[in-house]
Amino acid sequence: MRVTFDYHPDDGSNMKYLLARQVEILEATEAQKIWTDMTDLSLLPHNHLLGTCRMGDDPKTSVVDRYHRAHDVSNLFLVDGSSLVTACCQPTCTIQALAYRAAEHIAGQAQKAAI
C-alpha cells in the first residue's frame, strides 16, 4: 500500500484566516508575544490525516453517523480523525472528545442490548 498526503490550497487559506482572527483576539488581550509563522504549510512538522469518513445523518453523503457508527456495516465504529473533513489546527482534543462521546453511546447501547 502507498499512502500520500498533501494540503489542499483551501487548508492554507483557512489557516491564514483563522490565524488573523486569533491575532486580533490576542492583540485585544494585550498579549506579550504572538507567533504568526505557522501558516506556511511546508513548515508544519507533521500531518493529521483527516476526512476520509465524513460524519453525517444521511448515508448517501456520509460514512458514519454522529456517534461514529458506520452506516453500511452494523456495529462498526470508526472513532478517529477520519470523520473530520476539515481542520485548521491541532485536532487531537476534538478527536478525543468525539471518541468519549462515541464510547458513552456505545456503552449505553450495549446496556440496552441494542448492539
Beta carbons of 84 and 63 less than 8 angstroms apart: no
Instruction: Enter the C-alpha cell of residue 96.
Output: 478525543
70 forms beta bridges with 64
Question: 103 — phi, psi (to 5°)?
Answer: -65, -40
**Identified catalytic residue from 8, 46, 48, 68:** 48
**Would you call 48 a catalytic residue per the annotation?**
yes
56, amino acid identity: G
Instruction: Enter the C-alpha cell of residue 106.
Output: 456505545
Burial of 99 (0-12, 13-18, 19+ CB in 10 A): middle
Catalytic sites, residue numbers:
48
